Amino acid sequence: MNIGIIGLGLMGGSLGLALKKFPQKYTIIGYDHNPTHQKEALRLQLVDKISSDFNTLKACDIIILTIPVDAIIATTQELIDVHDKCTIIDFGSAKEKISNAIPNAIRPNFVTAHPMTGTEKFGPQAAIEELYAEKTMVICDIEKSAEYQKGVALTLFKDIEAKIVFMDAKEHDRHAAFISHMPHAVSYAIAQSVMKQEDPKSILALAGGGFKSMSRIAKSSPNMWEDIFRQNKSNLLASIATFNQEMQLCQKLIEEDNWDELHQWMSEANKLHEIL
């Protein structure tokens, strides 16, 4: 099967690497608006070939969109005339707007998914062959996809060793705000709070593993995360409000020297790792 990957950054490049383990099954054709990304993807052997002709991508058996949410929504309009057996998969982080924006004529062709994985790095050079292995792949609104396309997508996800979870798109976006989008906002805020000190270098000289872990994802692409924050705005604001309530409670307990209750508050937070 010919697979067209639109977007050759971390997600698309890693997918290409994972699928190249099946040379008898898949031929990987890459497409990216950035010429440097195209050259890098070929040099790093993330894809079998590069095409600058969008019609070549439209003729593929499988088209995978690993680009920002706004770009996914715009690209769906350009795919209106794909062939009946074409399977289109998107990896966008905010699912409801994508799912609702897909033209009715090709909605059966679509499987809208979100791999719950990634790193703070971006671009083709960030690609990791095992990025998707044993990671959760959320498939949203599966009842809107045709049976053939469901089968193709599930087979591909099995090949990259992803763990499948089915979820309503609206539900996904609310959960993703708490476990992914809000933590990114917090990490950016931590980085900003340190950098706005009079001498951030002195603070950073003392930084240990805890600070580095919490600020690591602040290195993520602003272009990508601005797009995600905008597309999932209402859920993100709700999750930030919940976080702020907890921070205010922490501050209040410290101000009032209420150390016993603070200890209990921390102990309750420890229970999260019994779930993870």
Q: What is each CA distance from 214 to 195, 203, 210, in whole angstroms?
A: 14, 15, 6
For residues 177 and 146, state if they share a domain.
Answer: no
Residue 92 has pLDDT above 90, yes or no: yes
User: Is 90 exceeded by the pLDDT of residue 198?
Assistant: no
Neighbours of 253 (CB within 10 A): 18
C-beta atoms surrounding 114 within 10 Å:
24
Domain extent, residue 116, equals: 2-167
Kindly report the length of the chain. Answer: 276
Is the distance from CB of 2 to CB of 29 less than 8 angstroms? yes
| Mean pLDDT score across all residues of the chain | 92
High-pLDDT (> 70) share of the chain, %: 100
Token pair belonging to 85: 């057996």
pLDDT range class, residue 208, cuts 50, 70, 90:
confident
- Count the neighbouring beta carbons within 10 Å of the beta carbon of residue 123: 16
Give the SS3 label for residue 184. helix
pLDDT at position 51: 93
Best CA proximity match to 72, nearest among 217, 233, 231, 234: 231
CATH value at residue 34:
3.40.50.720
pLDDT given for residue 214 in this prediction:
84
SS3 of residue 263 by DSSP: helix
Q: Which of 141, 167, 193 is the last residue of a domain?
A: 167
What number is the average pLDDT over the span 213-232? 87
Q: Are residues 10 and 126 in the same domain?
A: yes
* CATH number reported for the structural domain that contains residue 205 in this entry: 1.10.3660.10
Q: How confident is the model at residue 276 (pLDDT cuts 50, 70, 90)?
A: low
pLDDT category of residue 120 using cuts at 50, 70 and 90: confident
pLDDT at position 236, please?
97
The mean pLDDT value for 241-265 works out to: 96
* Residue 3 CB neighbour total at 10 angstroms: 24
110, 6: one domain:
yes
Claim to verify: residue 160 and residue 184 sit in the same structural domain: no
Comparing 29-38, 59-68, 173-182, 216-225, the range with the smallest average pLDDT is 216-225
Same domain, 208 and 112: no
* Residue 33: both structure tokens together: 């608006």
Count of structural domains within the chain = 2
Which amino acid, one-letter code, is at 29?
A: I
pLDDT at 200 > cutoff 90: no
